[in-house]
Chain A
Amino acid sequence: MIFQIILLIMLAYVVGFIYFGLYRNILARIQGRYGPTIYQSFYDSIKLFSKKNTVNYGWMFYLGPIIMATGAVLTLILVPVFSDSDFLRSATSQGNLFVLLYLMVLGPLGNALAVGTGGNPFGVMGVVRGLTRLIGLELPFYIAVVGLIIAANSSDIVHIIDMQKTGGLNIINHPLLFIAAMISMVGFFGESPFDIPGAPQEVYSGPRTEFSGKFLALLMSQGSLFAFAKLVLIIDLFLGGADSLWMLVLKTLAIFVTIIFIGVVYGRYKVEQAVDFLMKIPTLIALLGLARVIWFG
């Protein structure tokens, strides 16, 4: 099992970084340029790991990225990657959706602890923005997840996947829930219009302002691990999971590219506008979906 966990993390690391490279390439193509090589994120992360660190804010500051990385890794090992085989399923039997939802919030909290110690006003501002945005993001996503749990009568992801095999994909059965969850996902991926915490034109890099070198590299790695975990979670919940590597890549890529497309063409909301929007439209959609689940099954 330990071997599988390590393999999973490595797979997620590679896939996550290649996806990030792909993201940069697609972005570049839409912007009318070639963009970097697909491995650029590896280069960046190795370079950042090799940088010397001279700033010191105490151990709490260093713990922040580690807490975030822990959240990402735990999320990853609790999500079933393949639907049929036990391969890479690792620790899935020990956790269910509620644990996952809790772990997804761990990252921002770890961030908040570290950035508070750093004392950079822009970092603090970014964290405050991030936490405010999280309120908006979580509401529609949680409602969507609750809808699925009611529909499947279980909070176990494996069960939800199995149910989709017989009863049809959730994206077709519960499209409203899917739309609501996807809108939240755009925010969880830090894409426009919800990329408020790290808005460079406003608060530099927000929470990451003081992080450099190794810690930035750690943050980047956890970001790509987490991105992979989130993609897998979405396809597990709505697209019936993946039974082979090809299916996994195809489905995650489809979701990922959709998110990129949304991110690239819209600008950035202000934080209260974003919360306002998320509390209204996606929440409304999610509630409608939930009502449909409750009354029509």
Chain B
Amino acid sequence: MAIDVKGVLSPLSAIGTLFEHPRTITYPEVKKEIPRGYRGFHINDLESCIGCANCQEVCMNEAIDMVHPDREYNPKNGSGCVPRIDYGRCCWCSLCTDVCPPSSLKLNNECIHADRDSNNFLYMPKNRKDIS
């Protein structure tokens, strides 16, 4: 019976990792920087949103509702409505931001949210200036 000496001994080199620094990102304490272009939650500049509902039209998931905002908004807004996104539908494909004529709707790199109630997933995009 031939003994595969290399096959027995070479895996033992793995033990060397014991003395290396772990690669773990200890998440709640240390946060990895998410790149700027990441497709996370929506932001919407109400100062420039024109309420055209292009985003609603292009969304294949019917995730976008047009509702009246309770904040100050663009006086030139044609319908007085701004998009509100259902995060029970959204797939973060970014088509809505591609078709936004004034480029007011954008995706931000903030993307982490967990909740205990399924009713809590309607998202009103924040203004860009509210996000540091």
* A contacts B: CB pair < 8 Å: yes
By a beta-carbon cutoff of 8 Å, the part of chain A in contact with chain B is: 26, 28-34, 261, 264-266, 280-281
**A30 touching B22, Cβ below 8 Å:** no
**B11 touching A266, Cβ below 8 Å:** yes
Report B23-66 residues with CB < 8 Å from chain A CB. Answer: 23-24, 26
Taken residue by residue from 1 to 30, chain B's Cβ proximity to chain A (1 for < 8 Å, 0 otherwise) reads as 101000000011011011010111010000
In the complex, residue of chain A having the shortest beta-carbon distance to the beta carbon of B19:
A29
In the complex, residue of chain A having the shortest beta-carbon distance to the beta carbon of B3:
A281
Alpha-carbon gap, A280 to B22, bound state (A)? 39
CB contacts (< 8 Å) of B20 on chain A: these are 32
**A32 touching B14, Cβ below 8 Å:** no
CB contacts (< 8 Å) of B17 on chain A: these are 29-32
Given A261-B12, A265-B11, A265-B12 in contact, is the A26-B18 Cβ separation under 8 Å? Answer: yes
CB contacts (< 8 Å) of B15 on chain A: these are 30, 261, 264-265
A145 to chain B, nearest CB (A): 25
Given A29-B18, A280-B1 in contact, is the A34-B12 Cβ separation under 8 Å? Answer: no
A204 to chain B, nearest CB (A): 26
CB contacts (< 8 Å) of A266 on chain B: these are 11
8 A-B pairs (CB sep. < 8 Å): A29-B22, A31-B17, A32-B24, A33-B24, A34-B26, A265-B12, A265-B14, A280-B1
CB contacts (< 8 Å) of B1 on chain A: these are 280
Alpha-carbon gap, A123 to B1, bound state (A)? 34
CB contacts (< 8 Å) of B26 on chain A: these are 34
Alpha-carbon gap, A34 to B30, bound state (A)? 13
Give which listed residue, A264, A280, A281, contacts B14 with CB less than 8 A. Answer: A264
**B22 touching A32, Cβ below 8 Å:** yes
Alpha-carbon gap, A143 to B23, bound state (A)? 44
In the complex, residue of chain B having the shortest beta-carbon distance to the beta carbon of A262:
B12
**B11 touching A32, Cβ below 8 Å:** no
B2 to chain A, nearest CB (A): 12
CB contacts (< 8 Å) of B22 on chain A: these are 28-29, 32-34
In the complex, residue of chain A having the shortest beta-carbon distance to the beta carbon of B8:
A266
Give which listed residue, B3, B18, B24, contacts A34 with CB less than 8 A. Answer: B24
B85 to chain A, nearest CB (A): 35
CB contacts (< 8 Å) of A28 on chain B: these are 22
Alpha-carbon gap, A177 to B22, bound state (A)? 37
CB contacts (< 8 Å) of A261 on chain B: these are 12, 15
CB contacts (< 8 Å) of B24 on chain A: these are 32-34
**A30 touching B23, Cβ below 8 Å:** no
Across the A-B interface, give the 10 residue pairs with the lowest CB-CB distance, nearest first.
A265-B11, A33-B24, A32-B23, A265-B14, A29-B18, A30-B18, A33-B22, A30-B17, A34-B22, A34-B24
CB contacts (< 8 Å) of A30 on chain B: these are 14-15, 17-18
Alpha-carbon gap, A261 to B17, bound state (A)? 12
Taken residue by residue from 57 to 101, chain B's Cβ proximity to chain A (1 for < 8 Å, 0 otherwise) reads as 000000000000000000000000000000000000000000000
